[in-house]
Structure 1
Amino acid sequence: MRLAFMGTPDFAVPALLALHAAGHEIAIVYSQPPRPAGRGQSVRLSPVHQAAETLGLPVRTPARLRTNAEEHAFFRDLKLDAAVVAAYGLILPAAMLDAPALGCLNIHASLLPRWRGAAPIQAAILAGDSESGVTIMRMDEGLDTGKMLLSDQVALTPATTATTLHDDLAAMGARLIVTTLAQPAGPGQPQPEQGVTYAGRLTREDGRIDWTRDAAALDRQIRALTPWPGTFTTLNGEVLKIGAATLAPAAHLAPPGKILDEALTVATGDGALRITRLQRPGRGMMDADPFLRGQPVPAGTVLGS
């Protein structure tokens, strides 16, 4: 098929590579414009942009689409069979949604209608869902409301993190979109009206740890929001990033945030968490043992105060 591919982050790269390997003609790749990144704030191409250049594919990076009539005309003139969209980051107007013969197909990282919106991977872990997955849908002008063409699921466990789920769903999405394009195009299945939930955009403040919450919820927060936007607390007025933790027994009641032992076990509103990876400002993330050798944190210290 003659395709456009529209994506930006790492999540979308496996799908682009899979479509190229399957022999589809990728006429154009769309991605977000290069932006400053890293400590040096050097301008970097997006992961999809980098992958497309490696494959020798042309790339367009418009900053806006909704009122960009010139881009609408360019897209229409490509005479596409379909466009594949994966975490692109710009809303497609009707002029572009309707241009390909088979429409625009979205690789969405949830089992729709569960977790429409911007952060479905993190939302599934935060909510304690038992499963997640990928849905291939034909896009319409709504927010992830299009008809469903194909889906698959994966179980979530107490060890699932945003990183592991991201990688699993990226690979799943690549497989499903190739399968979708290999079979006759159907009308798709309308999404159920029941069970619709939304996953809004995450901010740094979503990562602040409130030790009055129960340990299980905080464990999910750390697993869902690491590495981005990251979870954090404060230690003696210094911001401390938390990279990983495990549920731990609480031998006695203690105020939330109080460190109970020399192994960084912290009391919560219900139960306790043992911090296993953490990071001071200006330092790298490290395991708790070497951290404590360099900076002992005595029992009785209160985090987040």
Structure 2
Amino acid sequence: MKIVYMGTPEFAVPPLKSLCESGYQVELVVTQPDKARDRGKKVQFPPVKETALQYGVEVLQPEKIKGNEEFFNRIREIKPDLIIVAAYGKLLPLELLEIPELGCINIHASLLPKYRGAAPIHRCIIEGEKTTGITLMYMEEGLDTGDMIASRFVDVEDKNTAQLHEELSVMGAELLMDTLPNIMNGTAGRTKQDDSMASYAPMVFKQDGLIDFGKSPEEIERLIRGLNSWPVAHTLYLGETMKIWEAKALDEKSAEPCGTIRAVSNEGIKVSAGGRSLMITKLQMPGKRAMQVSEYLKGNKIEIGEVLG
């Protein structure tokens, strides 16, 4: 069976590795173009490209897919039985979806129909979901609207996005490997999504990380976990950006204005938030690495009474 694999970030690496190491015939990998990294403009390969090259698989990196006849012709030449997609980064046109005989399937990092879209892991943490998971689905023109093949659950607990991202990427690879034989022989399940239950997970931007200390400590804690490791929740301290990597909600009332630093110790920075308290335990100031508050205080001072934000 000939497979074309489409993916770009680290999330899409474990499924590709599993396919190659399990002996599946991956004819081509399609990923986003290389990007210049930082100010030095050093070119950075997408993680999926690096993996494909390790396994000797041909790589294509089209600037665009829609209307790209040269790209479509290359896919038609391969005559793939199946296209597998994991976080490719762009919607696929119908012209491409109709090429493989067995269709196109997508590994999506949520329990569909909840959290359709680009940032399901970030958003499920920020919104306080107790469980999330992976859904394997047939693709159609809509945004993550296709029929579901299979899904697996995981507890969110107090994980951050980086931790959940790693767990779900491995789970996605496992679900794909377990389900692929049924897809190949035509016995895979196919369940329509209930659109009335749908929710969306739009892309996350840096400005989404600005902390509003008028919100409850629990909401702020979830924002911090949801934006770890990118773009990282942040506030202002004495005019400088303070990135906050870790914090915990306290069941402790506060009458001070929101954002006021109430106490500072090796345990953390206690801040008034939504009439209660938030304990910041890991931070990062400009030009410095992220560190626990106890380490930061060894060479720096945080003033009690100052207001964050």
TM bucket by the smaller chain?
Answer: over 0.9
Amino acid at match of 1:202: V
Contact 2:5 2:26 in 1 (8 A): yes
Secondary structure at the aligned position of 1:40 is classed as coil
How far apart are the structure 2 equivalents of 1:270 and 1:117? 34
Is the contact made by 1:250 and 1:267 (CA closer than 8 Å) also made in structure 2?
A: no
Corresponding position of 1:112:
112
Match of 1:267 among 272, 286, 307: 272
Counterpart for residue 175 of structure 2: 176
Post-superposition Cα deviations, 1:30-62, rounded to whole Å, max 9, x if no partner, equal: 110000124533111000000111111110000
The CA deviation at 1:250 is 2.9
Q: For residue 179 of structure 1, report the CA deviation from its aligned partner.
A: 1.5
Q: Counterpart of 1:221?
A: 223
Q: Which amino acid aligns with 2:168?
A: L
Deviation at 1:77, TM superposition (A): 1.8
Residue matched to 2:256: 254
Q: Over aligned residue pairs, what C-alpha RMSD do you find? A: 1.2
Question: Is the Cα–Cα contact under 8 Å of residues 253 and 276 in structure 2 kept in the other structure?
Answer: no
Displacement after TM superposition at 1:187 (Å): 6.3
Structure 1 segment 135-284 matched on structure 2, within 5 A: 135-157=135-157, 159-183=158-182, 184-185=185-186, 186=188, 188-250=190-252, 252-263=254-265, 264-284=269-289
Query: Would you say the 8 A contact 2:18–2:173 is kept in 1?
Result: yes
TM-score (norm: length of structure 1)? 0.97
Q: Please report how far the alpha carbon of residue 73 of structure 1 lies from its aligned counterpart in structure 2 after TM superposition.
A: 1.3
Distance 1:219 1:126 in 2: 8
SS at structure 2 position matched to 1:290:
helix
1:295 aligned to 2:300?
A: yes
C-alpha distance in 2 between matches for 1:201 and 1:43: 24
2: CA distance between counterparts of 1:37 and 1:107?
Answer: 27
CA distance in 2, matches of 1:86, 1:293: 44
Partner of 1:92: 92
1:251 deviation in Å?
5.2
After superposition, the Cα gap between the structure-2 partners of 1:201 and 1:251, relative to the gap in structure 1 and judged at 3 Å, is closer
Superposed CA offset, 1:175-196 (max 9, x none): 1111221113346111112210
Counting matched residue pairs gives: 303
Question: Could you tell me which residue of structure 1 aligns to residue 11 of structure 2?
Answer: 11
With 39-48 and 79-88 compared, the bigger mean Cα shift is at: 39-48
User: Any idea what SS the aligned residue of 1:56 has?
Assistant: coil
Structure 1 residue 272 displacement after superposition? 1.2
For 1:40 and 1:121, locate their aligned partners in 2 and report how far apart those are by CA, in whole Å. Answer: 31
Letter in 1 for 2:150: L
Measured in 2, the distance between the counterparts of 1:215 and 1:251 equals 11
Kept after mapping to 2: 8 A contact 1:6/1:30 = yes
Aligned residues of 2:217 and 2:248 also touching (Cα < 8 A): no
1:167 partner amino acid: E
Mapped to 1, the partners of 2:96 and 2:180 lie a distance apart of 19
The whole-number CA distance in structure 1 between the counterparts of 2:189 and 2:283 is 49
Instruction: Point out where structure 1 has 5 or more consecutive residues left out of the alignment.
Output: none
Structure 2 residues not aligned, in runs of 5+: none
Amino acid at match of 1:208: L
CA contact (8 A) 2:135 2:152 kept: yes
Q: Normalising by structure 2, what TM-score? A: 0.95
Runs (4 or more) in structure 1 with deviation over 3 Å come to none
Instruction: Look up the equivalent residue of 1:207 and give its one-letter code.
Output: G
- The answer to whether the 8 Å contact 1:76/1:96 transfers is no
Counterpart-to-counterpart distance in 1, 2:177 and 2:9:
19
Partner Cα distance (1:251, 1:199) in 2: 33
